[in-house]
A and B are shown apart, each in its own frame.
Chain A
């Protein structure tokens, strides 16, 4: 048993992949909670796909592609907010359009610039290609974002719960809004390489909504979500190693299974276990018994 756990660790690429997966499990779960409570889960998906033009341009110019991705992802959130504030168009359709518009621009740029960017890797990630420098960057981003969340927790709580009340009390809500979107973009850019843009959204919101079914405060969702995120990414990595399946898909499947477990069996809200269901179960059992005795 112990050998099963230790064997993959003898490879450096696995050690680096696991370290990255653990860091992202924590980071995505914590940051993703802000998407959940603002009912903006899809924004994770939008930003993830909207980074493509930035990648293409940065690749062409020979600058750090993570910088290009970050700038482009942040730009997409600005455009969504701008469309929303300037017209009667609702945020969901603004996001849908920005999503495909940026993706189309990216695909076009890759072709026009004859870029050697690997679209497959962009979409699905390749955690086994993680280098020591990548691990370092992930550590820096994770520590940086977690410190920000800790420092601005009470302001972010007020803003995400009651944006109007927060603004009326004098908090700089626009600054908070864009800083939060910046942190979300940074998290997505850091995760791109590992799980790819298609799957990153589930790493962002999966652990959080699982925790949401189990606890009743945002900071508890963050703590429990981080634990669930780490369990998912580690389990997913081992599955990927032993079953020889793509790591991103394996991690996301574990996330989904854990969510289903909570959905069915959460003590307070589980479909099979919530208090009113215990009532119904007892009723059914009684009916069953009385039929038996007849």
Chain B
């Protein structure tokens, strides 16, 4: 079991002279949903990007299955924040999800028939197969998020990273996201979910990372969501959060 875990040790990021993430360490096991929470500007997205090598880290080691994660990016799926995407890009739903097969397909080739089947299944799973010929700008926010969820599924990754997947989505989409997360979990995948939403999403997590530049707390919901930890992470806005503390 231990051989299959994600291991982050002493990760730190300096962004143009400012410390964004400081000495973060944690481990996650297969079949776990890991919630990354913390106030705005706590470095949640930056930490995820640093784990994936999308921003340079000043120190730290990231290992997956006991090897450097950077050498195994083909086992990774990353869903960026909705605001990172240009929704007017001239592309249809189908081709967004087909992108998932780019690395598996390899240079100079077109996606194979099995790849097309994988894409079809992924779209059907999130209820978007009928809309596959739509340009992505013609979709609602929730539908757009489901397209990216389908893309992550079609990547058939072992490690999945979601940056704020619940922002601007409808109830139906939220329910589908939770269902798919549960399925991925039961397949033994590791999911890292960045969220500033401290509602339902938290109860689905097996492990929480409470971040404010550094790791404030790491563990189960009960261990992490104590009044003391929340005070340390959120400071004065703590009153607003009292209702979530058991």
Q: Give A contacts to B, CB under 8 Å.
A: 37, 39, 87-88, 151-152, 154-155, 157-158, 160-162, 164-171, 212, 215-218, 220-221
Contact = CB atoms under 8 A, between A and B. Distances in A.
B40 interface: no
A169 B49 contact: no
A168 B103 contact: no
A166 B85 CA distance: 12
B44 to A, nearest CB: 15
Contacts of B89: 37, 160-161, 218
B174 to A, nearest CB: 22
Contact of A169 (B78, B107, B135): B78
Given A164-B78, A170-B74, A218 B91 contact: yes
Contacts of B98: 154
Given A87-B16, A162-B80, A168-B78, A217 B90 contact: yes
Interface in B61-91: 73-74, 76-80, 84-86, 89-91
Interface residues of B, number: 35
B99 A167 contact: no
A41 to B, nearest CB: 14
Contacts of B53: 167
Contact of A37 (B73, B78, B90, B155): B90
Nearest to B73: A170
Contact of A221 (B54, B80, B90): B90
Nearest to A222: B90
B19 interface: no
Contacts of B95: 157, 217
Given A151-B108, A162-B84, A168-B161, A216 B135 contact: yes
A160 B91 CA distance: 11
Contacts of B107: 151-152, 155
B52 interface: yes
A155 B86 CA distance: 17
Contacts of B91: 157, 161, 216-218
21 contacts: A151-B108, A154-B110, A155-B107, A158-B102, A161-B99, A162-B80, A162-B84, A165-B78, A165-B99, A166-B102, A167-B52, A167-B53, A167-B54, A168-B54, A168-B161, A169-B76, A169-B77, A169-B78, A169-B103, A171-B103, A215-B90
B80 A165 contact: yes
Contacts of A212: 90
A109 B46 CA distance: 44
A164 B108 contact: no
A88 B16 CA distance: 7
Contacts of B161: 168
B145 to A, nearest CB: 14
Contacts of B186: none
Nearest to B80: A164
A216 B90 contact: yes
B119 to A, nearest CB: 13
A119 B18 CA distance: 46
A170 to B, nearest CB: 3
Nearest to A211: B90
Contacts of A162: 80, 84-85, 99
Contacts of A216: 90-92, 135
B96 interface: yes
A124 to B, nearest CB: 32
A169 B53 CA distance: 11
B140 interface: no
B105 interface: yes
Contacts of B92: 216-217
